[in-house]
Amino acid sequence: MSDDDHSGFFPSDEEDHVGPPAGSTDAFAAGRRVREEELAIAWVREPHVESPMRFAGNDESVPIRYRSDADRVCIGATYRGESGNAGPGFERAGPRAQVSFVPSRTTAAIVTCGGLCPGLNDVIRSIVRVLMGGYGVRRVLGIRYGYAGLTDVDIAPMELSPKDVGDIHKDGGTILGSSRGFPPMDKVMDGITGLGIDILFVIGGDGTQRGGHDIHVEAQKRGVPLAVVGIPKTIDNDIPWVDQTFGFETAVAEATKVVDCAHVEARSARNGIGLVKLMGRDAGFIAAHAALASSDVDVVLIPEVAFTLDGEQGLMGHIDNLLHWNGHALIVVAEGASHHFFNQDTQRLDASGNRLYQDIGPFLREQICKAFPKASMKYIDPSYSVRSAPANAADSVFCARLGQYAVHAAMAGKSDMLVGRWYGKFTHIPLSLIHRKRKSISPRSSIWRSVLETTGQPCLLPEEVRKD
């Protein structure tokens, strides 16, 4: 992955860049706004127990390769921290020779929060199998229905074992259930201490991870040696400092199937118009990648790029041209593209703290039907079918490895951190770092340029934006 390709994963606001600018050849450009001390990972306690993970599985001919905290990952390179000339870098994930918890006396818990996403069960399965089969942890709890399961006495946790999770990766959703929101902190901590939890694995998006950070802070205040390790879950792929979140590949694959079906519907009708609304509240990664995978999409509309409906450069004029020359049109819109049109109430939030936007799908469908009353309109919103799909092969592998690296970090006593992947290397990321700004597609990035070249869509920017 080149620096230019990576630029599309980050905010377009230059002042808030956390990655190299498009075309940059500076290998350490992404670290220029982050100091080395900001990348330090918190400890529950110093490691003092020899790791029981000495061999890969049961094969004594394959010894475990331990990682050191001096192994670092910077932009485009892996280096030893002692060199002192490679710039800021993340800790490299992996098993440590010394651990902080005695496995036979350790209780771990897993919680899944927020909306559904392909791969949740795969991550749960991986965590349980490595904890119990690799480290010998005897007690693993599954917290039911998000953080609410830590406070509601009517929601008992599940006792998990390798047998209990044996086949769950074949199904979508999460066996633990999920919910949004965060109960009062004192009740959450009372629930954690009451269950005797030593390690808490938090699977969710940025709102969920904020909750994980707050739990870590409160545990430190109370003097509770609790390790909190996050696994990034957002189907929109908008968490910064990770090159991809799990479930994204499956979401793109499932969305592409729907886009292809919409194309068949559109081209099979006289003046057929297909409109597909995909996930993407603040970032258009799924819409952009599904359009590239399909190669039949005529227009892609995403939150990061404003567009206008009417006028010479408007969407309706382009649809009219498509119907005239091709006889049909196919449009893909990300759900968050609506904020360019409506006077959004930015104070309206869901239980996870996400801004609530007006639904762009029905609005565009109505506007297109008004402009082209004789057209055959097909509108598809596959959001829930995409979210509930089981992970595909690529995501299953990714989820399994994320779960493994999360367990290694937790057993080593690390806390207030997220396990991610950066340039193909698994890393430890402080939770405080991921809340600065969400990842998004830069209009100047190579990924957006590829979308424009594939669709052939014209500039649909409002006139005032084009003048700027």
Question: Per-residue pLDDT tens for 238-269?
Answer: 898 998 999 999 999 999 999 999 999 999 99
Read off the tokens for 348: 């309206």
Give the predicted TM-score (pTM) of the model: 0.86
Tell me whether residue 377 is in a domain: yes
The count of structural domains within the chain is 2
Q: Are residues 86 and 218 in the same domain?
A: yes
Read off the tokens for 233: 């879950």
Check pLDDT > 50 for residue 352: yes
Q: Are residues 347 and 272 in the same domain?
A: yes
Kindly list the distances between the CA atom of residue 143 and the CA atoms of 138, 183, 184, 205, 288, in Å, as whole numbers in the listed order: 16, 14, 16, 17, 35
Q: Which residues contact 152 (CB under 8 A, 6 or more apart)?
A: 145
Q: Are residues 266 and 307 in the same domain?
A: yes
Tell me whether residue 9 is in a domain: no
Tell me whether residue 24 is in a domain: no
Tell me whether residue 65 is in a domain: no
- Assign residue 141 the CATH number of its domain: 3.40.50.450
Tell me whether residue 181 is in a domain: yes
Q: Are residues 122 and 109 in the same domain?
A: yes
pLDDT of residue 354: 61
Q: Are residues 330 and 342 in the same domain?
A: yes
pLDDT of residue 2: 36
Q: Are residues 342 and 418 in the same domain?
A: no
pLDDT of residue 29: 39
Tell me whether residue 325 is in a domain: yes
The rounded percent of the chain whose pLDDT value lies above 70 is 83
Q: Which residues contact 278 (CB under 8 A, 6 or more apart)?
A: 255, 286, 287, 290, 332, 333, 334, 335, 382, 383, 386
Check pLDDT > 70 for residue 298: yes
Q: Are residues 124 and 164 in the same domain?
A: yes
Tell me whether residue 1 is in a domain: no
Averaged pLDDT for residues 126-131:
97
- Residues recognised as catalytic: 236
Q: Are residues 349 and 361 in the same domain?
A: yes
First-residue to last-residue Cα distance in the chain: 32
Averaged pLDDT for residues 69-93:
71
Q: Are residues 324 and 452 in the same domain?
A: yes
Q: Are residues 90 and 102 in the same domain?
A: yes
Domain span at 136:
78-245+391-433
Lowest mean pLDDT among 192-196, 291-295, 313-317, 382-386: 313-317
Q: Are residues 268 and 384 in the same domain?
A: yes
Query: How far, rounded to the nearest angstrom, does the alpha carbon of residue 164 sit from its chain's CA centroid?
Result: 26
Check pLDDT > 90 for residue 76: no
- Assign residue 302 the CATH number of its domain: 3.40.50.460
pLDDT of residue 281: 87
pLDDT of residue 292: 97
Check pLDDT > 90 for residue 332: yes
Read off the tokens for 69: 């905290």
Lowest mean pLDDT among 321-325, 368-372, 437-441: 437-441
Give me the chain's average pLDDT, please: 86
Tell me whether residue 298 is in a domain: yes
DSSP state for residue 199 in the 8-state scheme: E
Q: Are residues 211 and 257 in the same domain?
A: no
